[in-house]
Amino acid sequence: MATPLLGEHFKNIRRLVHAACAGSKIFPSRHLRAGKFRGMSKGDMAQPLLSSKSDKNYDTSVDSLGTAVVILGSGDFARSLATRLVCSGFQVVIGSRNPKRNANLFPASAKVTSREEAVKKADIVFVAVFKEHYSTLCDLSTVLEGKVLVDVSNATEINNHKKSNAEYLASLFPGSTVVKGFNVISAWALQSGPQDGNKQVLICSDSPEAKNAISTIARSMGFIPVDMGSLCAAREIENVPLRLLPLWKIPVLLALCLFVGFYVYNFTRSVLHPYLQENKNKFYKIPMELVNVTLPCVAYVMLSLVYLPGVLAAFLQLHHGTKYRRFPDWLDQWLIHRKQIGLVSFYCAALHAVYSFCLPMRRSSRYQMLNDAFKQVAEKKNSAWVEEEVWRMEIYVSFGIMALGVMSLLAVSSLPSVGNSLNWREFSFIQSTLGFAALVIATIHTLTFGWKRAFDGNQYKFYLPPTFTLTLLVPCVIILARIVLFMPCINRKLVRIRRGWEKGRDVLDGIPLP
């Protein structure tokens, strides 16, 4: 619990932080323009605003500048944090166990001193030490009484049940107020600035005043503070940097399973069947050709899986006659992962385009071309031109390029920097309407690739149908379902449900429904 003096401390903190924020602006305030600069001589105007440590006119004392902030620790993160705070207009005091040895590691305008002396200089203390070293700070418990301790540490493993580092720090210093923050910001983001890294700073504390003070500091540093609630949320905040792409595990695993399945299927038809039935060695296809045949299958199916949960959700809403009934958990998770599934689909499609471009470069392709030429000469054929095959290939390649182009647009618009610049109607049009168009174009691309092969008995190796016929199942179901949902009688009911109408009710908020 904080001491009775804490409220007075926060008043000073807010006043000093706002003063520092005003001093960190690129353009001086109206007061400075009207008074300070007006009374300065030309000689004073020629002096640099920030000089080196050796400049006689530069006062490095804490009290001469705006807000003083203390950092306990001299590691990589502490140095990066000190650099960013200095650039944001704060007077930084470093508390180190070896101040003389570590003085050269920090900016020249930062003061490096002992821990005991540093803590006395400010009311906000960043604790940039590991959890196992918290006990070394117990000697400072008296001096830290009533101060705000900002815990920037991270856990070594995902914590679901144990006490967080911030809660442990609060138990060691009950007279201080602990704020969890800045642990999701990397040292690189602090050094290079928020434009080259994550801008969000997750903050939590049991004291609203302390959160406001640290949020103000985060804003002055160019970051966006996000209030996560009380200090018990520190456990979740500390788990954030430890999670490895949590939303990508299911889509990547799904893509790998599809790739392995289609690869084995294609291997059986294109390599194993000729070897067993015709005694032909086709194993050279394993590194390139089989991969190139498998990648579009994965991309096409993954693209269809992006829009299948939306169709299922629409039919569930029509079945229940309301939008207020929760979807099953598996459908909720599916809807959440649609962005990642779509990006994996685009990645596979892009790889397929690169592989297709490189296929003529293979030595086997050149040998095959020579063999076909010799065969044509031996058979005394003047021309190998087949009009139907020419048109099929032209249409097939053209629709493939269009599908990849629309998928590229979908991938670009899913980036936060691009998506945030679009309004909801624009984003929905690109992701929904153009996304469905990409699925239709990809379906035409697949159909023109297959052409008449689905009806050719020689294409069924080991009685297995061509691969493209398997990939068409889910997309065709989705296209037919979307056509059904577009029918006026069904679409009108679905729109009413999504506007709040429920089955069994004739009015909505007192207004009769037609």
Least Cα distance to 301 among 442, 448, 131, 417 occurs for: 442
Per-residue pLDDT tens for 124-151? 999 999 999 999 999 999 999 999 999 9
Task: Report pLDDT for 506.
Answer: 54
pLDDT value at 230 more than 80: yes
Q: What is the dihedral of CA 122, 127, 133, 139, to 10 degrees?
A: 20
* pTM (2 d.p.): 0.75
* Residue-wise pLDDT tens digits, 466-485: 999 999 999 999 999 999 99
- Residue 177 · residue 148 · CB < 8 Å: yes
Secondary structure of residue 203 in the 3-state scheme: strand
Taken in order 109, 113, 115, 117, the sign of the CA dihedral is: negative
Is the model's pLDDT at 24 over the cut of 50? no
Strands 148-151 and 177-180: parallel
510 CB-near residues (< 8 Å, 6+ apart)? none
| H or E, element range at 9 | helix 6-23
Residues 63-100 pLDDT 10s: 333 489 999 999 999 999 999 999 999 999 999 999 99
pLDDT at 5 over 90: no
Tens digit of each residue's pLDDT (9 = 90 or more) over 265-310: 999 999 999 999 999 999 999 999 999 999 999 999 999 999 999 9
